[in-house]
Structure 1
Amino acid sequence: MSVSSPAARLAVLYEHPQWFQPLFAALERRGMSYLPIALSGHRFDPATRDAPAPLVLSRVAQSSFLREPEHPIFYAEALLDHWERCGARVLNGADVLAIDSSKARQLSLITSLGYAVPETRVVHRGRDLAAAAEGMRYPLLVKANIGGSGAGIARYSSAEELRASIADLTVPQSVDQVLLVQDYVPPRGGTILRIETLGGRFLYAIEAESGGDNFDLCPADACIAQPGRKAIRMTAITPSSELIDAAERIARAAGLDLGSVEVVIDDRDGTPRFYDINAMSNFVADPLNVLGWDPHDRLIDYLETLITEKVAA
């Protein structure tokens, strides 16, 4: 067992109780000491000047609000900012978490780079959704600004259906009181593309089935094993060079050290529409069979390089 004392050179901040067991197991196989830090019940003193390790890997999941009403999303943003001020190199730090926790900010970033997104309007009150949707085509989606694991997304077939949902107070809610009304993009071939990046560079990509009403496309073992969860076909593919370049540009612009960019090919006109930047993207389940290699190994190589650079600095 290589889990270390607080003198470890690597700390891993996490929330989900199962998602990171493969990472921890890979670290231990490599003999790399690390300090796991669970967010649940965590506290810090803003007057201290000590970080838990020179290198901190943030694994904060936006879906944490589904597991704990007193979720740690905004707490983690303050904590990561504090550790950065204490001199730690934080992977997917506070600025990245701020992007990860706002679909509206993600879409703004993507369009600023010249890439297409689904037509979207952003509001902060549910009762304004119908007015925001005027002139948009149906079906459309209403999305919580902070989601995760497909939560906080509803599909509406008509303006009447949307207005009825607003009146019944059944439209999605977001923990930050920001909502998006968005064009439903019919996916070409019934799939979306998740492009994984590491250090701003392409790592691998998977094509995932995307039904019209199923938005939970988490690829990890712990997601797939959930009772009642429908199996989703996921296939490793090599995207076009244009899509890879776009994903890398988006990842670098977001400051993403590790995570995915998701894109759907619009079946109506063939336009790639980027719609999600995910800083807590889980590696695909059964990677040896799906990819032929384990991405945890390359993540650990990356961590070892950063630790060496941090110690030498």
Structure 2
Amino acid sequence: MTADLAILYEHPQWFTPLFAALDRRGVSYESLTTRTAFDPADAALPAPLILSRLAMSAFLRDAEHPIFWAQALLARWEMGGARVLNGTPALAIDTSKARQLALIASLGLAIPATRVVHRAADVPAAAATIGFPLVVKANIGGAGAGIARFDDAEALRAAVADGSLPTSIDGVLLVQDYVPARGGTITRIETLDRAYLYAIDVAGAGAFDLCPADACQVPGSAITMTATEPPAPLRDAAEAIARAASLDLGGVEVMIDDRDGTPRFYDVNALSNFVARPLDVLGWDPHDRLVDRIVGWIGEAR
């Protein structure tokens, strides 16, 4: 074990800016891909500090995705004494939108009305308790995948009958009220070490399936991202969620319900893929602050 830091990742391009920022600071690190095997009896660690950059959207890129494999690997490193940033407690939240909503609600914060099912046949009955329009979501999603809107019971029953409902790699679905986001905008609040870092407003058609990560956008997309400063109650709520979810680094998404003005938190994302062109959008580069904190974590882990 010679490196100060190991980074576990699966996306081939997303973390180039992070690696460049670490190189500029002279931080010793080892980059680890998920295309390997591990020995559960081996207590050796790649570094005393490990940063997990595993994306839930990994299943979109590879049918033989590493999401559940990584749960066991991170746990083994933790058992060996490593400090794992966004380790197994955070991953447990990241891999379940149902857990995310339960955690958010336990903090006294508003969420969209939701029912959680594990059988497609139970979706219509769950929908009847919510009303239309609604969305059906995969419990494990990513990049806006696994979400479909239904405006009436007939369309929903037809989707159940013909097997065209969204699916989740864990077999769990969420039936959720379609919240009309004020101005068609959601806010992504980023946190670092459980503290507010920055926020962006994300606007575009169909706000229920927006993906704030820039890498999820397609050429010609109408999605826009603008720096914003959320009111203090929203920043405080995001920090409370980050603490409860054990997020060393991550984003929380909220939208204002246009029907009554209620902020409804609906997503926790442990993969904080910072906004592209940060100097243009934010006026500063969050990678620099992340590396500052990583250097501090390295010192604490030694």
Matching residue of 1:12: 7
Alpha-carbon distance in 2 for matches of 1:147, 1:11: 26
Choose which of 222, 233, 248 in structure 1 pairs with 2:239: 248
Relative to the length of structure 2, the TM-score reads 0.98
Query: Following superposition of structure 1 onto structure 2, how do residues 101-250 of structure 1 map, counting pairs within 5 Å?
Result: 101-212=95-206, 215-220=209-214, 222-224=215-217, 226=218, 228=219, 230-250=221-241
Structure 2 gaps, min length 5:
none
Letter in 2 for 1:8: A
Q: Is the 8 A contact 1:187 1:267 kept in 2?
A: yes
Contact 1:151 1:216 in 2 (8 A): no
Distance 1:196 1:174, change over 3 A: same
Rounded Cα–Cα distance in structure 1 between residues aligned with 2:101 and 2:269: 12
Task: Quote the offset at 1:301 in angstroms.
Answer: 0.4
Deviation of residue 210 (structure 1)?
4.0
Q: What SS does the aligned partner of 1:261 have?
A: strand
Aligned counterpart, 2:22: 27
Describe the SS at the equivalent of 2:183.
Answer: helix
Distance, in Å, in 2 between the alignment partners of 1:76 and 1:161 is 37
The answer on whether the counterparts of 1:266 and 1:273 sit within 8 Å (CA) in structure 2 is yes
Matched AA of 1:135: T
CA RMSD, Structure 1 to Structure 2 (Å) = 1.2
Q: Name whichever of 248-257 and 211-220 sits farther off.
A: 211-220
TM-score normalized by structure 1?
0.94
Structure 1: gaps (5+ residues):
1-5
How far apart, CA to CA, are the structure 2 residues paired with 1:48 and 1:259?
Answer: 30
Retained in 2: the 8 A contact 1:139–1:158? yes
For the residues of structure 1 that align with 2:57 and 2:15, how far apart are their CA atoms? 14
| Percent identity for Structure 1 against Structure 2 | 63
Correspondence list, 1:27-106, <5 A: 27-39=22-34, 41-106=35-100
- The structure 1 segments of at least 4 consecutive aligned residues displaced by more than 2 Å after TM superposition are 210-214
1:242-281 equivalences under 5 Å are 242-281=233-272
